[in-house]
Amino acid sequence: MDIEKLIFEMTAEEKAALVAGTDFMYTNPIPRLGIPSLRMSDGPHGLRVQKEGGDNGVSESEPATAFPTAAATASSWNPENTRRMGEAIAEECRYYGVHTLLGPGVNIKRNPLCGRNFEYFSEDPLLAGVMGAAEIDGVQSKGVGVSVKHFALNNSENYRFMGNSIASENTMRRLYLKPFEHIVKHAHPATVMCAYNQINGTYCSEHKWLLTDVLRKEWGFEGVVMTDWGAMHDRVASLKSGLDLEMPGDTAICRRWILDGIKDGTLPMEDLDNACRNILNWIEKYVRQADPAPVDWDAHHALAAEIAADSAVLMKNEGALPLSGEDKLHICGELFENMRYQGAGSSMINPARLTTPKDAFTAHGISSVPIEECDKIIVFIGLTDEYESEGCDRDDMRLPESHLRLIDEMTKTGKPVIAVLFGGSPVELPFCDKVDAILNMYLPGQNGGTAVYELLFGEKNPSGKLAETWPIRYEDVPSHETFGKSINEVYAEGTEVGYRYYNKHNIPVRFPFGFGLSYTTFEKTEWKQNGEAFEQAITNTGSRFGGEVARLFIDGELRGFKKVYLAPGESVTVSIVPEPADENDYPDELVVTPEPPRFPVTLESRFTDFNQTFMGRILYNAVMSVLKKQRKHAEKLPEGPERDNAIKGAFFMKRIMDSNSPRSLSMCAGSQMPYNFAEGFVELTNRHLFKGIGCFIKKINAPKLPKENQV
């Protein structure tokens, strides 16, 4: 492909099409010039490949392997896990003809209530960057691209479409941009996906300092910058700021803005050509035919269990674990049979197979006995999809009340109680002192049941270490008073997030960053410096094979880590060359601007704000009625994963609509919700009847797409 020749031969209309997506997950082909379409798919811990003719929602997708989510894999502290997972996902991408995976997500876990924390790795930028880079290496080693996301400061969900993340440059540079910087410099991702939110008053999709000055000029990024789905605002401003691709596209208004900008000179053709050049390079490198080789689904299922077992964190154990084959067990809790193995939202996968704890126990002949007969009690509890999902932040850090009541009842029996936890982020554990063991599985993927069995019965030795701090109570979190409560998200705590905050202020926590028990014991020597490297000897002093993590902290920050696996009596010396410290001085001031009024509503208003007027309530309820029908339809489906995913999808769409804005909805819905309709909804809600009608009847004149001009 002679890219410069193609750019020279393309018309302005063809260029305007190329820099936008089509059919929700594709780039626009240019048939006249032989430019093919590139296909994308949601990730990041597996594929959500939409079936042909699907509704582009989060259900109705092709079977794929649901691997453990990032909240789990980060707790393995083993980048080899995410690298191997990335390779397997890429094989499935090629099988389905997908050229680029939308993931991984590497945003910092600023607050435990963020509804999307299950998709993110850590509160620490080095751990997040290393684990994310390894996944990217795995995916791209197989000829499939990635889109690392969400760039940047996308750390909450309630106002993610219009929220304004207010942070100093020092806070951004030393914490929130660090994972992306590491990944760009070490893993060279094919694309970077910009976030929905604003940073200090400017939307990420048109933030020149972020997309050009930092990402391209400082870090040397040479790939494509795309929007998150519906994150476009001003198409001309975004092109001039370094944003190449608008997704999902099919927005006539954006093509009109581009062509008008070229015509009147407000958009230099050079900026449009640069975006086209980046997209053509991406297409040339990654567009391939579907791989004819079949996927080894059994091997991927086994890998999912292997990673889940290596990632699980044994938080407490007073001799209750591991179980023996002689133990008589009383087993309870809804998550024993209905294991929560993935999060809810755009990353939701239709699992190729599913092995729950009940499946694994049954396969090994393990059954439950009554409580006045058992030796030990196992309670399967955690966060359900109603409590934790993309699209909204949690209200608190509590487990469901029914789960708390159940474990309270079990501890009152006087029998040893083992709690098995599922969920994507920390919860308060008021029963911690009453139970004998806590095994935290996070969200372990489709074969989590196998991993649970192997860990409980000692076939595998827990070796996961927490990638985030577990506070005793939510009030101990530095941003607890303001997080997720308004459009302005002020990062007043600066870099004092997670362990940095708790350590500096000597605040007790339930479980610290890096904590995790084992069925064996280890001894570590003090770190010794040897040239540029630091060395530590680790010895397995127990009776079981197990894994341990060497963690190097300098000046209170993690600067390197390495996981080792040792047989009883075995020793190894770990050598770590620390990540270089950033010696620059950055401005640390915060500039907080007033929040916009809730009324009159604008194109950037939260959809729930439409309920302030009679006409707005009619419009809001009309949209919500469609989602209610979707939920009712899902509930009528036969029991099984398809029904579960359909119900989760309905929950997710309700949450997304509540937090959406008319502009973002228009930019995501294409021809189903043209931009002038969004303008009309705003005018009607603001009681401007005739202006609203005028918006609905006006026409956006945009040329046909190149694919529509074929004879």
Which residue pairs from 39-42 have beta carbons closer than 8 angstroms and sit at least 24 positions apart in sequence? 39/97, 39/98, 39/99, 39/100, 40/98, 40/99, 40/100, 40/101, 40/102, 40/147, 40/247, 41/93, 41/96, 41/98, 41/100, 41/101, 41/102, 42/102, 42/103, 42/346, 42/347
Q: What is the C-alpha to C-alpha distance for residues 210 and 241, in angstroms, rounded to an integer?
A: 9
Angle at 86 (CA atoms; ends 83, 91), nearest 5 degrees: 135
The partner residues of 84 in beta bridges, in order of sequence, read: none
209 phi and psi angles, rounded to 5 deg: -60, -40
Asked if residues 309 and 545 have their Cβ atoms less than 8 Å apart, the reply is no
pLDDT band at 472 (very low <50, low <70, confident <90, very high): very high
Last residue within a domain, chosen from 514, 546, 567: 514
Examine the domain organization and report whether 370 and 464 are in the same domain: yes
Each residue's pLDDT tens digit, 25-41:
999 999 999 999 999 99
Answer yes or no: is 12 within a domain. Answer: no
Examine the domain organization and report whether 577 and 692 are in the same domain: no
Asked if residues 1 and 274 have their Cβ atoms less than 8 Å apart, the reply is no
Examine the domain organization and report whether 455 and 541 are in the same domain: no
What pLDDT sits at residue 631? 87
Answer yes or no: is 598 within a domain. Answer: no
The count of other CB atoms within 10 Å of the CB of residue 570 is: 13
Bridge-based pairing state of the strands 522-524 and 224-227: unpaired
The count of other CB atoms within 10 Å of the CB of residue 253 is: 18
pLDDT(550) > 60: yes
Q: How far is CA 419 from CA 26, 240, 340, 379, 441, in A?
A: 44, 54, 15, 5, 10
Q: How far is CA 47 from CA 69, 245, 351, 403, in A?
A: 12, 21, 9, 31
What is the b/e burial string over 445-475, where b = at least 16 CB atoms within 10 angstroms of the residue's CB? Answer: bbbbbbbbbbbbbeebbbbbbbbbbbbbebe
pTM of structure: 0.97
Alpha carbon 380 to chain centroid, angstroms: 25
Q: What is the C-alpha to C-alpha distance for residues 124 and 430, in angstroms, rounded to an integer?
A: 26
pLDDT band at 58 (very low <50, low <70, confident <90, very high): low
pLDDT band at 288 (very low <50, low <70, confident <90, very high): confident
- Both tokens of residue 162? 């219009």
pLDDT(471) > 70: yes
Q: What is the 3-state secondary structure (H, E, C) of 349-384?
A: CEECCCCCHHHHHHHCCCCCCCCCCCCEEEEEEECC
Q: What is the CATH number of the domain that holds 571?
A: 2.60.40.10
Q: What is the C-alpha to C-alpha distance for residues 483 and 124, in angstroms, rounded to an integer?
A: 19
Q: What is the C-alpha to C-alpha distance for residues 493 and 375, in angstroms, rounded to an integer?
A: 48
* Closest of 443, 356, 360, 446 to residue 63, by C-alpha: 446
pLDDT band at 641 (very low <50, low <70, confident <90, very high): confident
Answer yes or no: is 544 within a domain. Answer: yes
Rg (CA), the chain: 26
578: which DSSP letter?
A: P
Q: State the chain's mean pLDDT as an integer.
A: 95
Last residue within a domain, chosen from 514, 547, 564: 514
Examine the domain organization and report whether 454 and 526 are in the same domain: no
Share of the chain above pLDDT 90, in %: 89
Asked if residues 472 and 352 have their Cβ atoms less than 8 Å apart, the reply is no
* Closest of 633, 393, 585, 560 to residue 489, by C-alpha: 393
Examine the domain organization and report whether 695 and 611 are in the same domain: yes
Answer yes or no: is 327 within a domain. Answer: yes
What is the b/e burial string over 24-37, where b = at least 16 CB atoms within 10 angstroms of the residue's CB? Answer: bbbbbbbeebebeb
Q: What is the C-alpha to C-alpha distance for residues 320 and 462, in angstroms, rounded to an integer?
A: 14
pLDDT band at 711 (very low <50, low <70, confident <90, very high): low
**List 228, 244, 250, 291, catalytic entry:** 228
Answer yes or no: is 342 within a domain. Answer: yes
Respond yes or no: is residue 42 known to be catalytic.
no
48: which DSSP letter?
A: B
Examine the domain organization and report whether 353 and 483 are in the same domain: yes
Examine the domain organization and report whether 478 and 445 are in the same domain: yes
pLDDT band at 447 (very low <50, low <70, confident <90, very high): very high
Examine the domain organization and report whether 468 and 378 are in the same domain: yes
For tokens 């379409």, name the residue: 37
Examine the domain organization and report whether 321 and 468 are in the same domain: yes
CA atoms within 13 A on the CB side of 205: 23
Q: What is the C-alpha to C-alpha distance for residues 546 and 565, in angstroms, rounded to an integer?
A: 6
- Please name the residues in contact with 597: beta carbons below 8 A apart, sequence gap of 6 or more: none
Examine the domain organization and report whether 527 and 398 are in the same domain: no
Which of 204-213, 416-425, 656-665 shows the lowest per-residue confidence on average (mean pLDDT)?
656-665
pLDDT(553) > 70: yes
* Closest of 462, 81, 80, 121 to residue 309, by C-alpha: 462
The count of other CB atoms within 10 Å of the CB of residue 477 is: 23
Q: What is the C-alpha to C-alpha distance for residues 250 and 668, in angstroms, rounded to an integer?
A: 9
pLDDT(221) > 90: yes
What pLDDT sits at residue 416? 98
Answer yes or no: is 401 within a domain. Answer: yes
pLDDT(84) > 90: yes
Count of structural domains within the chain: 3
Helix (H, G, I), strand (E, B) or coil at 326: coil
Angle at 194 (CA atoms; ends 190, 197), nearest 5 degrees: 165
Last residue within a domain, chosen from 482, 514, 546: 514
pLDDT band at 204 (very low <50, low <70, confident <90, very high): very high
Kindly provide the residue ranges of all beta strands, DSSP E only, lying in 222-351, ordered along the sequence: 224-227, 313-317, 329-332, 350-351
pLDDT band at 56 (very low <50, low <70, confident <90, very high): low
- Please name the residues in contact with 577: beta carbons below 8 A apart, sequence gap of 6 or more: 532, 533, 534, 560
**Domain of 527, in residue numbers:** 520-581
Answer yes or no: is 398 within a domain. Answer: yes
What pLDDT sits at residue 519? 98
- Please name the residues in contact with 113: beta carbons below 8 A apart, sequence gap of 6 or more: 393, 394, 395, 396, 397, 425, 474, 483, 484
Q: What is the C-alpha to C-alpha distance for residues 16 and 11, in angstroms, rounded to an integer?
A: 9
378 phi and psi angles, rounded to 5 deg: -115, 125
Q: What is the CATH number of the domain that holds 453?
A: 3.40.50.1700
609: which DSSP letter?
A: G
Examine the domain organization and report whether 331 and 431 are in the same domain: yes
- Please name the residues in contact with 277: beta carbons below 8 A apart, sequence gap of 6 or more: 3, 4, 7
pLDDT band at 130 (very low <50, low <70, confident <90, very high): very high
Answer yes or no: is 79 within a domain. Answer: no
Examine the domain organization and report whether 671 and 635 are in the same domain: yes
